[in-house]
Amino acid sequence: MLMALSDHFLIVFAALFPIINPPGTALLFLALTRHLERRDRAVLAKWVALYSSLIMAVSLAIGSSFLQLFGISVPILRIAGGLVVTLSGWQLLRAPGSGPVAGGVSTDGADLKQFAFYPLTLPLTTGPGTIAVTIALSTGRSQRADMTSYALGSLAAVLAMGLLIFVCYRFADRIGSALGKTGTDALARLFAFILICIGVQLFWNGFAEAWLSLPVR
């Protein structure tokens, strides 16, 4: 069982890491929260990690059933998620290099929680791309004989990813200090472009699956 648990952990973690990319999104997180104090940024890091873990866990647990309820296929979810991820990356790529995010945010606790969920968690950290990947991972769980090891391994992978998100976001300012303002802005735009590429790839994968599923006349 331990071997099966570790296998499921590695499968889920390896699938989530490229799409979330905590070290890369940490620089985007820093760019969007540069106007806040360090303690407020630490609070945001905690809430983003919590919200992200909940989104991943719920998507793995009931994501496929939720899609079936509304008659949405996984390819369509990937197409829609790819479009949203691409748009988010484009907005981050064109965002000003410094200053507060559009609309601003106060240091009030409720405002910080709201800002932590949108846009820092959804769509920046665990957006449609992550939801599409986690639901795709869960689609075949009913055929698994080792449901216990699958559930425990998946939960461990989600918790590990949430912890990694917290650590990267919590100490993003130290990375920014080491890189300097120019280096941080440059890398933030680079990862924004990578986010666009991930969105386009997600869209293309969904479009290819939807195209192949069309009936042949």
**pLDDT tens-digit series, residues 111-156:** 888 999 988 998 889 987 788 888 878 765 555 546 788 888 999 9
DSSP state of 101: P
Q: Give the pTM.
A: 0.79
Higher pLDDT, 76 or 105: 76
- Is 217 a member of any domain? no
Amino acid at 180: G
Q: What is the span of the domain harbouring residue 165?
A: 2-212
In contact, 84 and 199? CB cutoff 8 Å:
yes
Task: State which H helix or E strand residue 166 sits in.
Answer: helix 147-170
| pLDDT above 90: percentage of residues in the chain | 27
- Is 29 a member of any domain? yes
DSSP state of 125: I
Predicted confidence at residue 1, as pLDDT, reads 67
The confidence band for 86, taking pLDDT boundaries of 50, 70 and 90, is confident
Name every residue whose Cβ is closer than 8 Å to that of residue 27 and which is 6 or more positions away in sequence.
172, 175, 176, 184, 187, 188, 191
How far, in Å, CA of 129 to CA of 198, rounded?
8
Nearest alpha carbon to residue 45 among 167, 158, 157:
167
| Number of structural domains the chain divides into | 1
Backbone angles phi, psi at 36, to 5 degrees: -95, 160
Predicted confidence at residue 101, as pLDDT, reads 46
